[in-house]
Amino acid sequence: MKHLIANWKMNFVNLDAWLKDFDLNNISEEIQVVICPNYLDIKDFYKTTLKTHQQISIGAQNLSSETEGAFTCQISGKMLKNIGVSYSIVGHSESRLQGEDDETILNKLQTAFHCDLIPILCIGEDQHEYSKGRTEKKIKHQLTENLFPLQNLSNNILIAYEPIYAIGSGIAVQNEHLEEVSLLIKDLVRENLGTDFTLIYGGSVNSESAKNLAKVDGIDGFLVGNASLDPKEFANIALSLEQ
Q: Please report, as ranges, the residues that interact with ligand PEP according to CB under 6 A.
A: 7, 162, 167-168, 202-205, 223-227
Closest separation in Å from C-beta 93 to ligand PEP: 7
Whose Cβ is closer to ligand PEP: residue 125's or residue 162's?
A: 162
Q: Which helix (H) or strand (E) holds 35?
A: strand 31-36
Closest CA to 210 of 166, 241, 164, 176: 241
Smallest distance from ligand PEP to CB 36, Å: 9
Beta-bridged to residue 122, according to DSSP, are 160
162 is annotated as an active-site residue: yes
Q: What is the CB neighbour count within 10 angstroms for residue 11?
A: 12
Closer CB to ligand PEP, 4 or 75, in the complex? 4
What is the radius of gyration, based on Cα positions, of the chain?
Answer: 17
CB of 205 to ligand PEP, least distance (A): 5
* Nearest distance from C-beta of residue 92 to ligand PEP, angstroms: 6
Q: Are 198 and 158 in contact (CB under 8 A)?
A: yes
Residue 3: HSE in the Cβ half-sphere, 13 Å Cα cutoff:
30
Q: Quick check: 112 and 86 in contact, CB under 8 A?
A: no
Indicate if 92 belongs to the active site.
Answer: yes
Q: Side-chain half-sphere of 150: how many Cα atoms within 13 Å?
A: 24
Cβ distance to ligand PEP smaller for residue 107 or 226 = 226
Of 94, 100, 125, 162, which is the active-site residue?
A: 162
Q: Which residue is nearest to ligand PEP (CB)?
A: 225
Report the residue number, 157 or 223, with the smaller CB distance to ligand PEP.
Answer: 223
From the candidates 3, 92, 100, 129, give the one annotated as an active-site residue.
92
Catalytic center residues:
92, 162
